[in-house]
């Protein structure tokens, strides 16, 4: 599917589609989670990374690190949005690139700036999503002092992890990540451990992968599907000319993990994907982007202050996540009227006929 970030594009959704989608009583959903791309570079060269290895290359135009002025401006915009919508809490994810490249002091300063603008009216949950190679005691002391949680990306045991998650030199990163997680598991820091993310690799046994991750004692974990689209299909997913979806390698892989996770008398860890699917099946509303039809309430603030959609869209085409908005000139509420944001918030109305005809479209979300 071709596409570009030009505002004159005729790709769906357009401003005309927006009028149709939002006719009647529809109101936008306030943003509740803000992803701050605090560092635009990374010390790893993971070969599936949507920031550096796929269609979008906008990282090249970003400053290396988010400046203090940009953080302050972001905090002002978030506080403005929270106040307008009387939000009791927001989540702020410090992301990248690799956020720990910013250094421990950066996180202390960022936490102070955000909390001074938002609290006590709006509680702030701060999380760092890291590749785990730069965890030190000094860093963890700062995170502990400022109540900042830490989540790490690990792809299983040593062989599975090092297949894709390597340094630019080609050396695997598993040893450094395992050492970092060992520190994080110490008594004084364990409460900061938010969880693990693992990208599915079909060539590695699913149960072995899951049990390797369990070895780190995470409070929760999730499996991410490798990025793909109709133009560039995910690894191991050959073209299906029938369009009937009879080839399901990722479902088969995840089903094996589910059976292992679900079969124990007492749950060993929270597994977000399965938890959310069960929750939606039982009539609940999903709490993670990518499952169900709940309105997306996530906004990304790029390193230079640009406001963007969820940056996993960057796997599609260059500029796919762009909105043309910036925190220096635009409010978060203006972002809520962007056609692509509306499309991710209007639920069933945004699904094509093929998706609506599917018996599980309310669980999948299309």
Partner 1 sequence: MGEDDLSTEFELIDLSGIDLAILADLRNSALAQSIRRVRQAAEDPDEAILSFQDSI
Q: Does 267 bind partner 1 (CB under 8 A)?
A: yes
Among 70, 173, 194, 303, binds partner 1 (CB under 8 A): 194
Q: Which residues are CB-neighbours of 48 under 8 A, at least 6 positions away?
A: 54, 164, 199, 226, 227, 235
What number of chain residues touch partner 1 (CB under 8 A)? 55
Find the binder of partner 1 among 114, 181, 196, 351 (CB under 8 A): 196
Which range, of 27-35, 175-183, 237-245, 325-333, touches partner 1 by CB under 8 A?
A: 27-35
Q: Which of the 8 DSSP states describes residue 41? A: -
Task: Note whether 83 binds partner 1 by CB under 8 A.
Answer: no
Query: Which tokens is 293 given?
Result: 């039809």
Residue 279 touches partner 1, criterion: CB under 8 A: yes
Contact predicate 135/187, CB 8 Å: no
Q: Of these, 203, 246, 282, 329, which contacts partner 1 (CB under 8 A)?
A: 282
- R_g of the chain computed on alpha carbons: 20
Decide whether 7 or 253 has the Cβ nearer to partner 1.
253
Instruction: Select the residue interacting with partner 1 from 38, 139, 221, 332 (CB under 8 A).
Output: 221
Site stretch for partner 1 (CB under 8 A), options 230-238, 243-251, 306-314, 335-343 = 306-314
d(CA 234, CA 226): 6
Report the residue number, 170 or 266, with the smaller CB distance to partner 1: 266
Taking a C-beta distance cutoff of 8 angstroms, is the pair 66, 36 a contact? yes
- What span, in angstroms and rounded, lies between the C-alpha atoms of 172 and 21? 47
Residue 148 is a binding residue for partner 1 (CB under 8 A): no
Sign of CA dihedral 224, 345, 70, 193: negative
The residue (of 28 and 195) whose beta carbon lies closer to partner 1 is: 195
| Identified binder of partner 1 from the candidate list 44, 75, 294, 346, rule CB under 8 A | 294
Min. distance of Cβ 294 from partner 1 in angstroms? 6
CA-nearest of 342, 298, 333 to 85 is 333
β-pairing verdict for 322-326 and 306-308: antiparallel
Contact flag: residue 275 with partner 1 (CB under 8 A) = yes
**Does 145 sit near partner 1 (CB under 8 A)?**
no
Instruction: Name the nearest CA neighbour of 128 among 189, 87, 172.
Output: 189
- Site membership for partner 1, residue 312 (CB under 8 A): yes
Are β-strands 33-39 and 220-224 bridged in parallel, bridged antiparallel, or unpaired?
unpaired
Q: Which is nearer to partner 1, 21 or 51 (CB)?
A: 51
71 contacts 113 by C-beta, under 8 angstroms: yes
Task: Name which position in 27, 57, 67, 89 contacts partner 1 (CB under 8 A).
Answer: 89
Closest CA to 139 of 221, 38, 213, 130: 130
By CB under 8 A, is residue 161 in contact with partner 1?
A: no
297 forms part of the interface with partner 1 (CB under 8 A): yes
Among 22, 179, 362, 366, binds partner 1 (CB under 8 A): 362
Residue 219 or 324 with smaller CB distance to partner 1: 219
By CB under 8 A, is residue 135 in contact with partner 1?
A: no
- Per rule CB under 8 A, is residue 111 in the interface with partner 1? no
Nearer to partner 1, 14 or 235 (CB): 235
| DSSP letter (8 states) at residue 267 | -
Rounded CA-CA distance 57/16 in Å is 29
Q: How far apart are CA 80 and CA 86, in angstroms?
A: 10
For 208, counting Cβ atoms within 10 Å of its Cβ (0-12 exposed, 13-18 middle, 19+ buried), the class is middle
Residues that bind partner 1 (CB under 8 A): 32-33, 35, 88-91, 93, 95, 125, 127, 129, 151, 194-197, 220-222, 224, 261-263, 265-267, 271-272, 274-275, 278-279, 281-290, 294-298, 310-312, 359-360, 362-363
């Amino acid at each position: 599917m071709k596409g570009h970030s030009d505002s004159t594009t005729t790709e769906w959704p357009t401003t005309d589609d927006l009028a149709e989608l939002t006719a009647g009583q529809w109101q936008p959903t306030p943003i509740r989670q803000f992803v701050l791309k605090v560092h635009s570079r990374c010390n790893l060269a993971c070969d599936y990374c949507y920031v550096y290895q796929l269609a979008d290359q906008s990282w090249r135009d970003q400053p290396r690190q988010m400046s203090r002025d940009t953080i302050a401006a972001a905090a002002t915009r978030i506080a403005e949005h929270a106040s307008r919508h009387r939000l009791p809490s927001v989540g702020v994810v410090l992301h990248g690139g690799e956020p720990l490249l910013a250094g421990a002091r950066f996180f202390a300063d960022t936490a102070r700036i955000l909390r001074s603008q938002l609290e006590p009216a709006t509680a702030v949950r701060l999380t760092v999503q890291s590749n785990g190679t730069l965890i030190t005691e000094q860093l963890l002391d700062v995170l502990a002092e400022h109540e900042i949680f830490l989540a790490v990306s690990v792809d299983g045991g040593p062989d599975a992890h090092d297949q894709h998650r390597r340094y630019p030199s080609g050396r695997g990163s598993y040893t450094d990540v395992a050492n970092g997680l060992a520190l994080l598991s110490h008594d004084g820091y364990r409460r900061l451990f938010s969880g693990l993310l693992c990208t599915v690799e079909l060539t590695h046994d699913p149960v072995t992968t899951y049990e390797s991750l369990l070895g780190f004692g995470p409070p929760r974990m999730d499996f991410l599907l490798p990025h793909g689209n109709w133009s560039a299909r995910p690894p191991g997913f050959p073209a299906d000319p029938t369009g009937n979806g009879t080839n399901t390698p990722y479902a088969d892989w995840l089903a094996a993990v589910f059976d292992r996770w679900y079969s124990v008398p007492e749950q060993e860890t929270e597994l977000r994907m399965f938890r959310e699917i069960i929750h939606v099946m039982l009539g609940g509303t999903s709490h993670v982007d990518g499952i169900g039809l709940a309105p997306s309430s996530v906004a990304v603030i790029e390193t230079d202050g640009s406001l963007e959609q969820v940056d996993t869209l960057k796997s599609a085409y260059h500029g796919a996540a762009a909105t043309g908005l910036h925190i220096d000139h635009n409010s978060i509420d203006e972002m809520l009227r962007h056609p692509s944001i509306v499309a991710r918030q209007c639920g069933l109305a945004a699904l094509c006929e093929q998706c609506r005809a599917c018996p599980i479209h309310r669980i999948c979300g299309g």
